[in-house]
Amino acid sequence: MNMEINTSAKETVDSLKKIFDKHKNDRICIMATTCCGKSTLHELIPETVDMDDELWPQLTEEEEAHLCQKPWTKEIGDFAGRLVRERVTVKPGHPLFTLILLDCEVLVYLDISDELLAEHCKKRQADFQDAKNINDAIKNTWNKQREMNDRVCYYLKITE
């Protein structure tokens, strides 16, 4: 099952809450790139979990240094994916905001246009190309999951 919704910030929160309520007994991953608003959404929606809050306290200094290298590369992404899959789990009733797909029944992809992503990156003084590369990797994961059709997939396009 695939559903596509274009959303403003308030509509994103409302859409996510509806999805979470509909799938309250399922494990839910909300995948999105850096600088698109995951942390803000996490703060606005009770019972959600942020991957960074789960992963970073478990990292060694060496692992953290490796993940913080610039620019972001596929190798860094693969390393992050391995660490996340080893150390973070998705629990029913506690949707996880993440860059990495974990075992779940429901997948939500929060997409963002390059123009809006560039604007968000500028505000946060973050590297746009890194955020775009991560978004491209997430989009690739999303497309593969939709083709497999073995979980419920939602697509939300952030418009502000």
Domain limits for position 110: 2-158
Domain count, the chain: 1
Domain with residue 28: its CATH number is: 3.40.50
Let me know: does 97 contact 50? Beta carbons within 8 Å.
yes
Non-local CB neighbours of 11 within 8 Å, separated by 6+ positions = 5
Q: pLDDT value at position 158? A: 86
Phi-psi region of 92 (alpha: psi -120 to 50; beta: other; left: phi over 0): beta
Task: Measure the CA–CA gap between 63 and 67, rounded to whole angstroms.
Answer: 6
Q: What is the pTM of this model?
A: 0.88
Segments of the chain with pLDDT less than 70: 1-9
